[in-house]
Amino acid sequence: MRVFAIKLFFLIFLFFVAPFSAAAEDYTNSIQMEFIRVPAGVFFMGAQEYEDGSSKEKPRHKVHISQDFYLGKFEVTQKQWEAVVGPVNPSNFRSPNRPVDEVSWNNVQAFIKKLNEMEGGGKQLYRLPTEAEWEYAARAGSNTIYSYGDDPGGKSLNQYAWYEQNSGKQTHPVGTRIANAWGFYDMHGNVAEWVQDYYDKQYYSRSPARDPKGPATGRKRVVRGGSWINQLYSCRTAARGYYSADYTDSDFGFRIVKMIE
Q: What CATH number did the domain enclosing 121 receive?
A: 3.90.1580.10
The proportion of the chain whose per-residue pLDDT surpasses 70, expressed as a percent, equals: 91
**Within-domain flag for 21:** no
More confidently predicted of 15 and 180: 180
**Within-domain flag for 19:** no
**Within-domain flag for 16:** no
**What is the residue-averaged pLDDT of the chain?**
91
pLDDT at 123: 87
**Within-domain flag for 85:** yes
- Measured from the Cβ of residue 10, the count of other Cβ atoms closer than 10 Å reads 11
User: What is the Cα–Cα distance from 200 to 85, expressed in whole angstroms?
Assistant: 31
pLDDT at 2: 42
With 0-12 / 13-18 / 19 or more C-beta atoms within 10 angstroms meaning exposed / middle / buried, residue 106 is: middle
- Residue 140 gets the label, from left (phi > 0), alpha (psi -120 to 50) or beta, of left
**Within-domain flag for 59:** yes
pLDDT at 80: 98
Structurally, how many domains does the chain consist of? Answer: 1
**Within-domain flag for 4:** no
Phi first, then psi, for residue 16 (nearest 5°) are -115, -50
Closest Cα partner for 195 from 173, 222, 233, 176? 222
Q: Is residue 253 classed as helix, strand or coil in its secondary structure? A: strand
**What pTM, to 2 d.p., does this model score?**
0.90
Domain that holds residue 56: 26-258
Under the banding of pLDDT at 50, 70 and 90, the label for residue 120 is confident
The proportion of the chain whose per-residue pLDDT surpasses 90, expressed as a percent, equals: 87
pLDDT at 122: 75
The 10 Å CB-count burial string (b at 16+, else e) for 53-76 is beebbbebbebebeeebbbbbbbb
144-150 mean pLDDT: 97
pLDDT at 52: 86
**Within-domain flag for 34:** yes
Preceding amide of 152 cis, omega within 30 = no
Q: What's the Cα-to-Cα distance from 32 to each of 134, 142, 162, 194, rounded to whole Å?
A: 21, 29, 23, 21
192-202 mean pLDDT: 98
- Residue 6 predicted with pLDDT over 90: no
- Residue 23 predicted with pLDDT over 80: no
pLDDT at 21: 34
**Within-domain flag for 8:** no
- Residue 5 predicted with pLDDT over 60: no
166-177 mean pLDDT: 98
Give per-residue pLDDT as tens, 49-78: 999 889 999 999 999 999 999 999 999 999
pLDDT at 20: 32
- Residue 85 predicted with pLDDT over 90: yes
